[in-house]
Amino acid sequence: MAERSLTLMAVHAHPDDEATSTGGVLARYAAEGITTVLVTCTDGRCGDGPGGVKPGEPGHDPQAVVAMRRAELAASCEALKVTHLETLDYADSGMMGWATNDAPHAFWNTPVPEAAERLADLIRRYRPDVVVTYDENGFYGHPDHIQAHRITMAAVELAGSPAKVYWTTVPRGAFEEFGRVMKEIGVEFPEPDESADMPTLGLPDEEITTWVDTRGYGGQKFESLAAHASQAENIFFLQLGQDRFTELMGMETFVRVRDTTGAPTPEDDLFAGLR
């Protein structure tokens, strides 16, 4: 009987989220023969429509946006050579405080145990060795990212999975460098609103446990992000061009929060201790 392939499962909130923080690892590990599973929790209906029309504006058709973003997600997965795409198809909740947070089928409005059991079924089916999702703040406070974190942590326990679990993060120093480069090429990068009740983004370098070099897959990661063309207005990274993008976004960083291998940290491989 053939030996089972090592498996990576990435759990993301919306179509396009897979590209930015995990596009490199999805591409790299697929190229190394590891099975990659992407779980996308929402349908992305609160994204921009054709021509950049915003939710609630005339001409924004949520169902048309869903269909468009589903096709873009498929193209992104092809670029990254994702082995399996699973979509939970909850309604996109929109940004925190939007009326869409309370819609009947909104992901944010879904009981955690209900959604976690659906994800646990996928964990039982695919038996991932590594699971990646967001931290408890959803990295920047988006309700669907927070909910993805909640259901993932619950699902791992429900499934009795021995998987290593990681949360995506960014070294704080990288924000300063990114802002400098964006200004250098003439792109306005929005400054954080210090008066807003937002979690602090990223972590100090010394708190990051895992640094994965994915620069060799920068072209695939850029292609994956570019596949989500309907959201280009919100994807500042595309304005960098592929070479600069790879230079700045070629190291993907994580915090290991669950481990059964005893592999020492810092590590340079999500599968350290497993191969």
Instruction: Delineate the domains of the chain, giving CATH numbers in brackets.
Output: 7-189+200-259 (3.40.50.10320)
Going from the first residue of the chain to its last (275 residues), give the mean pLDDT of each consecutive group of 10, the final group possibly shorter: 82 96 97 98 94 89 95 98 98 94 94 98 98 92 96 98 96 78 68 54 89 97 94 76 89 96 96 96
Give the number of other CB atoms < 10 A from CB of residue 118: 16
Q: What is the pTM of this model?
A: 0.92
Question: CA 23, CA 8: separation in Å to the nearest integer?
Answer: 12
What's the pLDDT score for residue 174? 80
35 forms beta bridges with 7
d(CA 54, CA 215): 34
Nearest to 248, CA basis, from 171, 189, 172, 178? 178
Report the C-alpha gap between 117 and 57 in whole angstroms: 35
CA atoms within 13 A on the CB side of 196: 11
Distance CA 159, CA 87 (A): 19
Position 154, amino acid: A
Amino acid, res. 261? T
Give Cβ neighbours of residue 259 (< 8 Å, ≥ 6 apart). 164, 165, 273
Nearest residue to 46 via CA among 22, 16, 26: 16
Q: What is the predicted pLDDT for the residue at 187?
A: 66
Token pair 């198809």 is at which residue? 89
pLDDT at 248: 86
Determine the Cα–Cα distance for residues 187 and 153; give it in Å rounded to an integer.
Answer: 37
Q: What is the pLDDT of residue 195?
A: 46
Give the strands of the sheet with 7-12, arranged side by side. 84-90, 35-42, 7-12, 130-133, 164-169, 251-258, 210-213
